[in-house]
Amino acid sequence: MQGIIIATLSVVAFFLLLANVARHFSRLGWKRELRRAVVKERNRNRFGVLRTQLMSDARDNVLDVHSPTFCSLYRGLTVLMREPHAYADAAMAILALPSSGSGDEGRQATSAEKKIALAFADALDQLCRDFVRP
């Protein structure tokens, strides 16, 4: 009789242990998905705010909508806002940013374009930091 009780308690303890391990692993996946969703929304918001600022400056005629800087920033911000994990498309838009020696002859970027480009670079830096584990 005593052996049956010990065996029964051992089986119950074993199933409780299995349930606890299964719950732990299921929470790990859930936490990972939750973190991924939070990072995705944070990035979408970060680039959405920049895109809104870019469009606001264009509406107020602070930025020239035909400039290569505006077009590159608009494409890059749109890709990163709509598809926060479309890094290949975003990289192509970022690489399309004109360098200081190319583009229109003698055309300098305006201070508003520089300000948006620096904010874009800062948002990209924060995007990279989101994927670095402390």
Query: Residues 99-124: what's their mean pLDDT?
Result: 72
Query: Residues 101-107: what's their mean pLDDT?
Result: 52
pLDDT of 70 reads 84
Task: Give the residue with greater pLDDT, 35 vs 57.
Answer: 57
Query: Residues 117-130: what's their mean pLDDT?
Result: 82
Which token pair is 17?
């242990």
Query: Residues 89-115: what's their mean pLDDT?
Result: 67
Characterize 67-81 residue by residue with b for buried, 16 or more Cβ atoms within 10 angstroms of its Cβ, and e for exposed.
bbbbbbbbbbbbbbb
Query: Residues 59-84: what's their mean pLDDT?
Result: 82
Which token pair is 77?
């911000």
Query: Residues 108-114: what's their mean pLDDT?
Result: 80
Inter-residue contact 54 to 63 (CB < 8 Å): yes
Mean residue pLDDT of the chain comes to 80
pLDDT of 101 reads 46
Q: Is it the case that residue 103 has pLDDT exceeding 70?
A: no
CA distances from 66 to 58, 105, 107 (A): 10, 15, 13
pLDDT of 132 reads 62
- pTM score, whole prediction: 0.63
